[in-house]
Amino acid sequence: MELHRGEGVATGSGTVAVKTGIYTGRSPQDRFFVRQPPSQAHIDWGAVNQPLEAGAFDRLHALVREVMIDNELFVFDGYAGADERYRLPLRVVTLRAWQAHFAHNMFIRPSREELHDFTPQFTVLNAISARAEDWKELGLNSKIFIAVNLEKRLIVIGGTEYGGEIKKGIFTVLNYLLPLDGVLPMHCSANVGNNNDTALFFGLSGTGKTTLSTDPGRRLIGDDEHGWSDNGIFNFEGGCYAKTIGLERDREPEIYDAIRPGALLENVVVRDDGSVDFADGSITENTRVSYPLDHIANSEPSGMGGHPRNVIFLTCDAFGVLPPVAKLTPEMAMYHFLSGYTAKVAGTERGVTEPSATFSTCFGAPFMPQHPTAYAKLLGEKLERHSAEAWLVNTGWTGGPYGSGHRMALTDTRRMLAAIMEGELGDAEFTPHPVFRVLVPQAVPGVNSQLLNPRATWADGNAYDAKAAELAQLFSANFAQYGDYAKLDSAFPKTDI
C-alpha cells in the first residue's frame, strides 16, 4: 500500500523504506497533558509533563477531525500489553498507510475472533497535515502538537510524521495507568533463558540495550517497554523498533536478519540498486526499523516471563571511571534507577572532546507522567519481594575517558552478562568501589581481572581519581532533586575525596 501511494520505496530485502519528513525524532517540547481531574492529581507537572487546558485540547481535536474527514484513513485495532489482565485495547487512525503499518508492527495484533467484539479503550488520531496556526493562543510551543487527554482516552497528533510519537504516546499512557494498579511500567528490554530465568535490561540510547538483550541463547520477550506485575513480566508491544545506524550483520545478526518483508525502514539511505546503506546518517543518525517480534527467530511468543532473576542497568560511561560490572543493593538500585545515568560525547572543539553526563529518571524521563519516586518505590518493593539481583554494567570507556581510553569490548560485556545470567558470580568476592560504592566482583570467569578495576586501566591513577570525583559530584547534584530519597546514604557516591 505504501508503494502504491508513493509513500516509500522498495528495498532489495523486500522491505519498504519511508521518510518521516523534517521530523526524524520525537518532539518532546510539543507534548502536553490536559490538566483536569482526576488525572491532574497524579501527574508530575513541569517541563516534561506540560499542562494544556481542556478547551485548547477540544480545539486541537476539532482541527484533527476537520483534516481527516475528507481524506482516506488507515486504521489499526490492537492491544498494548501481552498480559490480558492489564492490556489496553487501542485504535490508531492515520493519514499515512505506512503509519498504520508501523502500528501493526509495534502493537499486539488481535485474532480475527477478538476483532469481532473489539472496543478500543484508547484512541490515537494522527493527522500529519494538521497544524495549530493559533498555537500561542492555545498555550502550545509551536504548530506541532501531541496532546493527551487521559479522561477522554484520546491522543491527537498534528504536524509531525515521525512514527515514534504513536508508540511513545501509548507507552506514556500505560506509564500513567499501570502504577495505579500496582504494576511497574519500565523502559527496558527483557529476555528469558532456557531455565525460565527472566532478565531486564535498562539503558538509555547508545548503551546497548537492544543489542545485549537480543541474545541467541535467550528468548527475547521485548526490546523496549514492559510491565512488572504480581504475575511477572509482560511486554507492552508486539514488535521491535531498533536503531539501524551502522548496522552490520556480523555484530547484530538477529536484528539484521529481522529486516525482511513486513519490516518497515525509516529515514535510511537506499541506493539506486535497492540496497540500504546503514552507515549513512545523512538524513538522520536516528535511522530505524520496525518489525513484528516474530521476525526475531528466538523470541518468546507469549510476550511474558516470570519475575526477573536479574535486573541490569546499562550505562555508557564516557568518563571512563565506572566499573564494567558491579552488584547493587536494593537501595543502590533505586538510586541508579532514579538517576538514569549515561554519558554522551559533547563534540569536538579544536580537536578536544569532553564527555557530557546525561541523567534521565527511570531511564525514560520523557515518558513518565507520575513523579519519579512513585516508580522507584514500586521498583524497590518488587526487588525485595521477588529477591531479584540488581547490577550496573558499563558499556562505555575504560583506560581513560572518551578521546584517550577505549570502548569496552562487546565480547567482554557479553561474557560478564553471561556470568550474571548463569549464576557464576553467586560465590564471588565483592569489594565496594571507593567512590561510587557499588560492589565490584574481584573476578569474572573469562575476563581479565585488571579490567574490573577501572582505576588500574588508567595510566595515571591521580587523573582517574579526579575524573571519578567529577562524575560523583554530577551524580549528587542531580540526585538532590529527590528530597526524602536522599536518605539512601549507602547508595550515594562519595564526593569528599
Q: Which tens digit of pLDDT belongs to each residue from 1-39?
A: 788 898 999 999 999 999 999 999 999 999 999 999 999
Q: Is residue 117 part of a domain?
A: yes
Using CA atoms, how far apart are residues 221 and 301, in angstroms rounded to an integer? 8
Active-site residue identified among 13, 123, 142, 205 = 205
Using CA atoms, how far apart are residues 202 and 207, in angstroms rounded to an integer? 9
- Give per-residue pLDDT as tens, 71-96: 999 999 999 999 999 999 999 999 99
The answer to whether residues 265 and 335 belong to one domain is no
The pLDDT, as a whole number, for residue 486 is 64
Catalytic site residue 26?
yes
The answer to whether residues 328 and 426 belong to one domain is yes
Q: Which residue has the higher pLDDT, 253 or 353?
A: 253
The answer to whether residues 343 and 455 belong to one domain is yes
Average pLDDT over residues 468-482: 93
The pLDDT, as a whole number, for residue 198 is 97
The domain of 245 spans 239-295
The pLDDT, as a whole number, for residue 98 is 97
The answer to whether residues 329 and 284 belong to one domain is no
Q: Which residue has the higher pLDDT, 243 or 390?
A: 390
Active-site residue identified among 168, 295, 336, 433 = 168
Active-site residue identified among 207, 210, 229, 413 = 210
Q: Is residue 60 part of a domain?
A: yes
The answer to whether residues 392 and 471 belong to one domain is yes
CATH number at residue 61: 3.40.449.10
The pLDDT, as a whole number, for residue 72 is 95
Q: Is residue 21 part of a domain?
A: no
Q: Is residue 460 part of a domain?
A: yes
Q: Is residue 199 part of a domain?
A: no
On the question of pLDDT at 97 being above 60, the answer is yes
The pLDDT, as a whole number, for residue 483 is 74
The answer to whether residues 363 and 281 belong to one domain is no
The bridge status of strand 225-229 relative to strand 232-235 is: antiparallel
Active-site residue identified among 11, 19, 24, 26 = 26
Using CA atoms, how far apart are residues 265 and 276, in angstroms rounded to an integer? 10
Q: Is residue 207 part of a domain?
A: no
The answer to whether residues 421 and 277 belong to one domain is no
The answer to whether residues 320 and 285 belong to one domain is no
On the question of pLDDT at 347 being above 70, the answer is no
Active-site residue identified among 215, 224, 317, 412 = 224
Lowest mean pLDDT among 201-205, 223-227, 393-397, 492-496: 492-496
CATH number at residue 248: 2.170.8.10
Provide the mean pLDDT of the chain: 93
Q: Is residue 54 part of a domain?
A: yes
Structural domains counted in the chain:
3
The answer to whether residues 98 and 68 belong to one domain is yes
- Give per-residue pLDDT as tens, 145-179: 999 999 999 999 999 999 999 999 999 999 999 99
How far is the CA of 245 from the CAs of 160, 254, 344, in angstroms? 22, 15, 16
Average pLDDT over residues 458-473: 96
Q: Is residue 92 part of a domain?
A: yes
**DSSP code per residue over 6-58:** TSEEE-TTS-EEE--TT--S--GGGEEEE--TTGGGT--BTTTBEEE-HHHHH
Nine cell digits for residue 470: 567529577
Catalytic site residue 187?
yes
Using CA atoms, how far apart are residues 426 and 446, in angstroms rounded to an integer? 16
On the question of pLDDT at 346 being above 50, the answer is no
The pLDDT, as a whole number, for residue 350 is 36
- Give per-residue pLDDT as tens, 356-369: 899 999 999 999 99
Using CA atoms, how far apart are residues 37 and 151, in angstroms rounded to an integer? 8
The answer to whether residues 347 and 469 belong to one domain is yes
Catalytic site residue 209?
yes
**DSSP code per residue over 378-427:** HHHHHHHHTT-EEEEEE-SEESSSTTTSEEPPHHHHHHHHHHHHTTTTTT
Active-site residue identified among 96, 101, 167, 187 = 187
The answer to whether residues 453 and 316 belong to one domain is yes
Lowest mean pLDDT among 201-215, 283-297, 381-395, 480-494: 480-494
On the question of pLDDT at 310 being above 80, the answer is yes
Q: Which residue has the higher pLDDT, 418 or 345?
A: 418
CATH number at residue 480: 3.90.228.20
The answer to whether residues 279 and 386 belong to one domain is no
Confidence category of residue 351, pLDDT binned at 50, 70, 90? very low
The pLDDT, as a whole number, for residue 496 is 67
Confirm whether pTM is higher than 0.85: yes
Active-site residue identified among 209, 226, 243, 433 = 209
